[in-house]
């Protein structure tokens, strides 16, 4: 696939570099011009000739020049706002038909926690069954309409990405959740909802994306079934998505924020917890 440009910072480079090595996709890292940043990239396995150093924010022209220099097909970046040069990265990627994968910023609000995964999934099931339909296009309960109306000519899919476990009982609530969503959300003919796992369980995210791409799905959204940001949400999942995006240039892959960070999910948890007091 086309090279991937990583602008996520040297501290977070490891999972992206590991995925690049595993898939054989060239990874270009742009990091601060200090020895520690360069050393972190080298330790992660990125060759020195693929390490670009400098201090931003970089202009649109700077980003365009870098994309053209290395033939970048995918750029992975954080949403650093104006101060972090994000608008310039977005404009450069758009002008060069370069795919952009953005690691969303945390909302800053602490997310509630469950002691078991089963409890979390059952809470999601309860929310799906009890919440009324919303007209708000940003509302997850209105996801079907959002997917269908944005690109009516494209096939689309929402992938619920769970962590995974070797224990079959752990997987059962997620299978029930998928069945419930398919029955109650009612995807249209050109829209599907499916389940993938980060590790230990099947199907894996790459195998699901491979299958969807082979079916002609052009718009895939990945929803991490996690309570909050962390290594998986901020690093591992975007890194894997970047590699898959490079493998399938005709498919738009979007990594959504973890489900636990959504305001309505937090409100639902607050209501459930209040009932238990």
Helices marked H in 7-109: 14-23, 35-43, 60-70, 86-95
Answer whether residue 165 shows pLDDT above 90: no
Pick the CATH number of 117-276 from 3.40.50.1400, 3.40.50.1370, 3.40.630.30, 3.30.70.1290: 3.40.50.1400
- pLDDT tens for residues 18-68? 888 887 888 899 999 888 899 999 999 999 999 999 887 899 999 999 999
214: pLDDT strictly greater than 80: yes
Has this prediction a pTM greater than 0.95?
Answer: no
Nearest by Cα to 223 from 154, 147, 150, 162: 162
Rounded Cα distance between 13 and 41, Å, is 7
Q: Locate tokens 């995210």: which residue?
A: 205
How would you classify the pairing of strands 191-197 and 156-162? parallel
Q: Is the pLDDT of residue 145 over 50?
A: no
Share of the chain above pLDDT 90, in %: 19
Most confidently modeled range among 186-195, 246-255, 260-269: 246-255
pLDDT > 50? residue 192: yes
Q: Which of 7-11, 150-154, 213-217 has the lowest mean pLDDT?
A: 150-154
Q: How far apart are CA 247 and CA 17, in angstroms?
A: 16
Q: Which residue has the higher pLDDT, 140 or 122?
A: 122
186 pLDDT exceeds 80?
no
Do 4-103 and 117-276 show the same overall fold?
yes
Using alpha carbons only, what angle is made at residue 55 by residues 54 and 57, rounded to the nearest 5 degrees? 125
pLDDT in tens, 69-98: 999 988 888 877 777 788 899 899 989 888
User: Taking the domains of the chain in order of start, what are their residue ranges?
Assistant: 4-103, 117-276
Question: β-pairing, 27-31 with 4-7?
Answer: parallel
pLDDT the model gives residue 190: 65
Q: What is the CATH number of domain 4-103?
A: 3.40.50.620
């Amino acid at each position: 696939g086309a090279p991937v440009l990583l602008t996520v910072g040297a501290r977070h480079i490891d999972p992206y570099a590991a995925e690049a090595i595993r898939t054989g996709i060239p990874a270009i890292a742009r990091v601060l011009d200090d020895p520690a940043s360069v050393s972190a990239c080298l330790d992660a396995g990125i060759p020195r000739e693929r390490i670009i150093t400098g201090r931003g924010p970089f202009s649109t022209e700077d980003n365009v020049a870098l994309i053209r220099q290395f033939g970048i097909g995918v750029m992975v970046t954080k949403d650093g706002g104006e101060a972090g040069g994000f608008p310039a990265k977005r404009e450069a990627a758009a002008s060069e038909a370069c795919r952009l994968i953005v690691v969303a910023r945390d909302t800053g609000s602490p997310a509630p926690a469950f002691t078991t995964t089963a409890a979390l999934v059952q809470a999601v099931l309860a929310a799906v069954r009890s919440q009324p339909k919303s007209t708000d296009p940003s509302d997850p309960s209105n996801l079907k309409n959002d997917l269908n109306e944005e690109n009516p000519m494209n096939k689309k899919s929402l992938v619920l990405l769970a962590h995974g476990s070797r224990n079959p009982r752990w997987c059962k609530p997620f299978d029930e959740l998928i069945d419930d969503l398919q029955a109650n959300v009612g995807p249209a003919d050109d829209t599907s909802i499916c389940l993938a796992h980060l590790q230990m369980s099947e199907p894996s995210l790459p195998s699901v994306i491979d299958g969807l791409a082979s079916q002609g799905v052009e718009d895939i959204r990945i929803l991490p079934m996690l309570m909050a940001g962390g290594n998986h949400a901020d690093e591992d999942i975007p890194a894997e998505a970047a590699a898959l995006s490079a493998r399938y240039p005709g498919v738009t892959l979007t990594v959504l924020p973890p489900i636990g960070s959504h305001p309505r999910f937090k409100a639902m948890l607050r209501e459930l917890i209040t009932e238990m007091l």
